[in-house]
């Protein structure tokens, strides 16, 4: 499932084609994805100007001139791609419609935004913009890891007395939102913290040092266009390439990147998810 860097990469790719532009026509080609689309979704989108594209955790949010916000979740295999040439930089003909093109937005500038999702685990909803943060999917989210509300004292307080492994704590979207398996594994390696260590047993100094490491890992991944492991592509159809920089994720049995370590990366399963780490470098 795409994590924060992948969703932010998609948002940045969509912004030039969508922000400030009118949705001339919306085609909704099925009644639902993970859950039913809102009533009259195509009608409610058509004719609206996209005032702002933003991201909250792993959701893309498009604020519309109607006072509604289109919430988009990519799910396991969802892609949002841009065709046409709204910026006049190159020629991209609109491709023929594909089997799993479930929602298509025809923008007034000639761009076409296509939501394709073979597994249909993605989702879309329309929210009242003024109260969007109270939506059940957004109200439970913790601070953004790249925002000002995420700092050492917040994480120290969240970890205090917590008996669960630090890996599980960082995946808890109520503690910090947007993090998933890939970037938690990478951040814990850089911090030298074992994914099995209990969150409440980590010193305040080590927790404080973890905060900028999380920020750095996410920022580097965004600059690399995210990580393409299976289905993820950027809005222009290109693959992300941060996976080429992984220190531990997916590297079971490969040598640790730490100079002089000599140990192999190991994989364990925690709460049904794979954790990759170096026993020698992480404690």
**Block residue for tokens 């910026």:** 87
Please check whether residues 187 and 83 belong to one and the same domain: no
Among 230, 209, 212, CA closest to 220: 212
Using CA atoms, how far apart are residues 165 and 100, in angstroms rounded to an integer? 39
pTM: 0.88
Please check whether residues 184 and 260 belong to one and the same domain: yes
Better-predicted residue by pLDDT, 121 or 243: 121
User: For position 107, what pLDDT does the model report?
Assistant: 94
Q: Look at residue 146 and tell me if it is in a domain.
A: no
Using CA atoms, how far apart are residues 251 and 258, in angstroms rounded to an integer? 14
Please check whether residues 270 and 162 belong to one and the same domain: yes
Name which of 84-88, 122-126, 145-149 the model is least confident about.
84-88
Radius of gyration of the chain, Cα coordinates, nearest whole angstrom:
20
Our count of domains for the chain comes to: 2
> Encoding tokens for residue 136?
């059940």
User: For position 118, what pLDDT does the model report?
Assistant: 87
2 annotated active-site: yes
Please check whether residues 66 and 160 belong to one and the same domain: no
Over the stretch 192-230, which tens digit does the pLDDT of each residue have? 999 999 999 999 999 999 999 999 999 988 887 655 444
> Encoding tokens for residue 36?
């039913």
Over the stretch 184-193, which tens digit does the pLDDT of each residue have? 999 999 999 9
* Given the residues 3, 6, 8, 68, the one annotated as active site: 3
Q: Look at residue 206 and tell me if it is in a domain.
A: yes
Q: Look at residue 143 and tell me if it is in a domain.
A: no
Please check whether residues 23 and 76 belong to one and the same domain: yes
Using CA atoms, how far apart are residues 64 and 50, in angstroms rounded to an integer? 5
**Structural domain harbouring 97:** 4-134
Average pLDDT over residues 128-138: 95
167 annotated active-site: no
Please check whether residues 158 and 249 belong to one and the same domain: yes
> Encoding tokens for residue 129?
């913009």
Q: What is the mean pLDDT of the chain?
A: 89
Residue 88 has pLDDT above 60, yes or no: no
Please check whether residues 16 and 106 belong to one and the same domain: yes
Over the stretch 142-175, which tens digit does the pLDDT of each residue have? 999 999 999 999 999 999 999 999 999 999 999 9
Identify the CATH number of the domain in which residue 125 sits: 3.20.190.10
Grade residue 235 by pLDDT with cuts at 50, 70 and 90. Answer: very low
User: For position 13, what pLDDT does the model report?
Assistant: 87
Please check whether residues 167 and 71 belong to one and the same domain: no
Residue 242 has pLDDT above 80, yes or no: no
Q: Are 127 and 69 in contact (CB under 8 A)?
A: yes
Grade residue 239 by pLDDT with cuts at 50, 70 and 90. Answer: very low
User: For position 85, what pLDDT does the model report?
Assistant: 65
Please check whether residues 127 and 157 belong to one and the same domain: no
Please check whether residues 14 and 128 belong to one and the same domain: yes
* Given the residues 2, 5, 86, 165, the one annotated as active site: 2
User: For position 82, what pLDDT does the model report?
Assistant: 87
User: For position 212, what pLDDT does the model report?
Assistant: 97
Q: Look at residue 12 and tell me if it is in a domain.
A: yes
Helix H segments across 133-177? Answer: 152-159, 166-171
* Given the residues 12, 54, 267, 273, the one annotated as active site: 273
* Given the residues 11, 56, 58, 190, the one annotated as active site: 58
136 annotated active-site: no
Grade residue 3 by pLDDT with cuts at 50, 70 and 90. Answer: confident
220 annotated active-site: no
User: For position 79, what pLDDT does the model report?
Assistant: 86
């Amino acid at each position: 499932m795409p994590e924060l860097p992948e969703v932010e990469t998609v948002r940045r790719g969509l912004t030039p084609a969508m922000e400030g532009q009118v949705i001339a026509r919306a085609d909704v080609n099925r009644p639902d994805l993970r859950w039913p689309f809102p009533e009259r979704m195509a009608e409610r989108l058509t004719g609206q100007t996209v005032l702002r594209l933003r991201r909250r955790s792993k959701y893309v949010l498009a604020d519309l001139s109607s006072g509604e916000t289109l919430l988009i979740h990519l799910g396991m295999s969802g892609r949002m791609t841009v065709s046409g040439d709204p910026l006049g930089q190159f020629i991209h003909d609109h491709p023929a419609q594909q089997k799993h093109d479930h929602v298509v937005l025809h923008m007034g500038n000639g761009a076409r935004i296509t939501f394709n999702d073979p597994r249909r685990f993605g989702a879309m909803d329309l929210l009242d913009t003024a109260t969007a943060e109270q939506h059940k999917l957004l109200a439970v989210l913790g601070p953004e890891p790249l925002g000002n509300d995420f700092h050492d004292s917040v994480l120290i307080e969240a970890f205090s007395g917590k008996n669960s492994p630090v890996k599980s704590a960082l995946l808890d979207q109520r503690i910090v939102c947007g993090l998933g398996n890939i970037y938690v594994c990478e951040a814990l390696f850089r911090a030298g913290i074992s994914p099995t260590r209990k969150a409440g047993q980590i010193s305040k100094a080590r927790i404080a040092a973890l905060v900028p490491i999380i920020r750095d890992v996410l920022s580097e991944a965004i600059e690399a266009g995210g990580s393409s492991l299976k289905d993820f592509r950027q809005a222009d159809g290109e693959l992300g390439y941060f996976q080429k920089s992984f220190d531990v994720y997916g590297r079971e049995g490969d040598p640790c990147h730490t100079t002089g370590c000599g140990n192999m990366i190991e994989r364990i399963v925690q709460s049904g998810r794979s954790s990759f780490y170096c026993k020698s470098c992480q404690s």
